[in-house]
Amino acid sequence: MAEEQRKRQGWLEAAVIFAAWTVFGLTLASQFHMQSELVGRPDRWSDSLRAALIDAYLWALSTVAIFWLARRVPLARGRLLVGVPVHLLAAVLLGMARAVCKIELTRLVLGFRTRPFPVVFWGSVSQDLIYYALLLGIAYAVFYHDRYRERERAAERLAAGLTEARLLALKTQLQPHFLFNTLNAISALIPPEARPARRMVAHLGDLLRISLEHEETHEVTLREELASLQPYLEIEQARLEERLTVVTAIAPETLDARVPHMLLQPLVENAIRHGIAPRVAPGTVAISATIGADGRRVELEVRDDGPGVDGRAAATRRGVGLTNVRSRLEQLYDGQHRFALENHPDGGTVARISLPFHRGRPAGGASGRAVE
């Protein structure tokens, strides 16, 4: 594959070289024709064109040879003692070859003899050396640009791979966190009666299935994310019973928005764990999703009516769930998002997330109805 790509690049390079020298030949033909008219001996346009194209295409062939030699004998640091003599010799040999070819082609194509070889060669040697140096400089500029672009592409591939690895590592760290918490909740319910435990095990199975189905998916639609959240909510409501009420306000136009997979679960878990579970009185967790005023962002909120941020432990902000949420958002959106955990004016804590609004197709993983 790499060899085929190099061949295609070589043919493209040769095509560009010949196209550029063709333009040069046409310009040179116009000059030849105008000069012949100025001196009072006008040539036919076809003769001027053929003479100019002979010179242009001989230089095109020389340019291909110069590019080929520049790749194999670079004028790099530490190789100048070899490179400079090689290129000086190449410039002289190419000049001699062009002089011979020009004499013969002029005789064959235009039908008349030019000046002898020594006159043609020594008459153009200084110009040949200048052109050779210019073309050699262009060759190295092209090579260094290609090398720079290849390094950029390699850096982009490395960055993409690193981002992928980080995202997978963060998801791997996040999923066991809430699953183990759920298992602890199940184990606490098993002794009294088996039916609630069986229901919780069933919901846990749903969680595991959804997690595995989206194992390599970083973004899903909000509809799928809400469906993924439903088994977790069922488990927590079975555990806390009437102490937990979940209220949702999901704007229909947000359901097709792309959001990070497993985004809402750690936010809801944080709200339940720190805002609802520690107290005896019933509490409410509210989940909402709306489109921003400019129509280009989706605004997500998870709110509880607990003691608020100031009344929670300092570890709340540094927990595994919220830390992963922050890290994944930064990896996925590179600063185009907003995330805040703060006190709500009416009491309790609210987690606010603002993301660019992009419509997405279902990932084909989580199924089931969205929370409405």
Each domain of the chain, given as residue ranges in start order, spans 2-114, 160-356
Three-state secondary-structure class, residue 358: coil
> What are the respective helix, strand and coil percentages of the chain, to the nearest 5?
65, 10, 20
Tell me the pTM.
0.49
Q: How far apart are CA 272 and CA 96, in angstroms?
A: 87
Instruction: Please give the class, per CATH, of domain 160-356.
Output: alpha beta
- Please report which residue ranges of 190-290 form alpha helices under DSSP H: 194-213, 222-240, 264-271
Return the closest-CA partner of residue 366 out of 167, 239, 223, 245: 223
Three-state secondary-structure class, residue 367: coil
25: pLDDT confidence band, cut at 50, 70 and 90?
confident
Q: How far apart are CA 297 and CA 88, in angstroms?
A: 63
367: pLDDT confidence band, cut at 50, 70 and 90?
very low
Pairing of strands 244-250, 283-291: parallel
Span 101-126, average pLDDT: 79
Q: Angle 117-189/264-271 helices, nearest 10 degrees?
A: 40
Per-residue pLDDT of 35-54, as tens digits, reads: 766 666 666 767 778 888 88
pLDDT at residue 365 in the model: 42
* Cβ neighbours for 97, distance < 8 A, ≥ 6 positions apart: 62
Per-residue pLDDT of 319-351, as tens digits, reads: 677 888 888 888 888 889 999 999 999 889 999
Return the closest-CA partner of residue 192 out of 133, 226, 148, 239: 239
Q: How far apart are CA 314 and CA 318, in angstroms?
A: 7
Q: What's the gap between Cα 312 and its chain centre? A: 40
Q: How far apart are CA 353 and CA 339, in angstroms?
A: 5
Would you tell me how many other CB atoms lie within 10 Å of the CB of residue 370? 21
**Range from 214-218, 266-270, 286-290, 307-311 carrying the lowest mean pLDDT:** 214-218
Is it the case that residue 303 has pLDDT exceeding 90? yes
Q: Cβ(302)–Cβ(317) under 8 Å?
A: no
Q: How far apart are CA 21 and CA 73, in angstroms?
A: 24
Span 208-232, average pLDDT: 78
28: pLDDT confidence band, cut at 50, 70 and 90?
confident
Query: Which burial class, exposed, middle or buried, applies to 284 when counting CB atoms under 10 A from its CB (0-12, 13-18, 19+)?
Result: middle
The two tokens of residue 45 are 């346009």
The CB-based long-range contact list for 108-116 (8 Å cut-off, 24+ gap) reads 109/50, 109/54, 110/47, 110/50, 110/51
Is it the case that residue 366 has pLDDT exceeding 50? no
Please calculate the CA angle 39-44-48 and round it to the nearest 5 degrees: 80
